[in-house]
């Protein structure tokens, strides 16, 4: 299994009291908000939102390994696992400071769409180059 050191972007997320559900742990839906915040941290590095393209989630999934409760601070590792013509597959690793272990992992396929006609479009070349550069900081080489 990968560790946080394999992820070029580490996003820190504080668990809020309101993130928990009636069973006393962070609700499964909240993990997707955490992942979204981490993904946007990665995208901010790419400046992708200034490129005339939007990004949409085509699919996502999360594997929950251990419950998380308030208070806690999560470290969410983000990396691009695969680059396609107009999409990327991103992977997330969620680490609990309180538990000192991985508590979840997730994946999402993100598609670039033109902001005018909302049709699938190629990942801009400068964004593609930035992804390669970011991933190389942790010796992760994409094909």
For 41-59, what is the mean pLDDT?
A: 93
50 has a pLDDT exceeding 90: no
- Full-prediction pTM beyond 0.85? yes
**Mean pLDDT lowest for which of 5-9, 66-70, 82-86, 139-143?**
139-143
Confidence category of residue 96, pLDDT binned at 50, 70, 90 = very high
Which residue from 28, 136, 4, 132 is spatially nearest to 78, judged by alpha carbons?
4
Confidence category of residue 49, pLDDT binned at 50, 70, 90 = confident
What's the pLDDT at 143? 81
d(CA 13, CA 76): 7
- Cβ distance 114 to 88 under 8 Å? no
**What are 29's two structure tokens?**
């839906």
How would you classify residue 108: left for phi > 0, otherwise alpha for psi between -120 and 50, otherwise beta? beta
1 has a pLDDT exceeding 90: no
What's the pLDDT at 52? 84
């Amino acid at each position: 299994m990968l560790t946080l050191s394999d992820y070029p972007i580490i996003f820190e997320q504080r668990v809020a009291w309101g993130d928990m559900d009636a069973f006393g742990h962070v609700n499964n839906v909240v993990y997707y908000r955490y992942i979204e915040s981490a993904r946007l941290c990665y995208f901010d590095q790419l400046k992708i939102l200034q490129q005339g393209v939007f990004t949409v989630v085509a699919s996502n999934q999360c594997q929950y390994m251990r419950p998380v409760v308030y208070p806690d601070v999560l470290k969410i590792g983000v990396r691009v696992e695969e680059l396609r013509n107009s999409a990327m597959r991103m992977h997330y690793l969620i680490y609990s400071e309180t538990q000192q272990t991985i508590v979840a992992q997730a994946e999402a396929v993100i598609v670039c769409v033109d902001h005018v006609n909302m049709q699938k479009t190629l990942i801009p070349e400068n964004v593609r180059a930035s992804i390669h550069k970011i991933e190389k900081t942790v010796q992760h080489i994409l094909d």
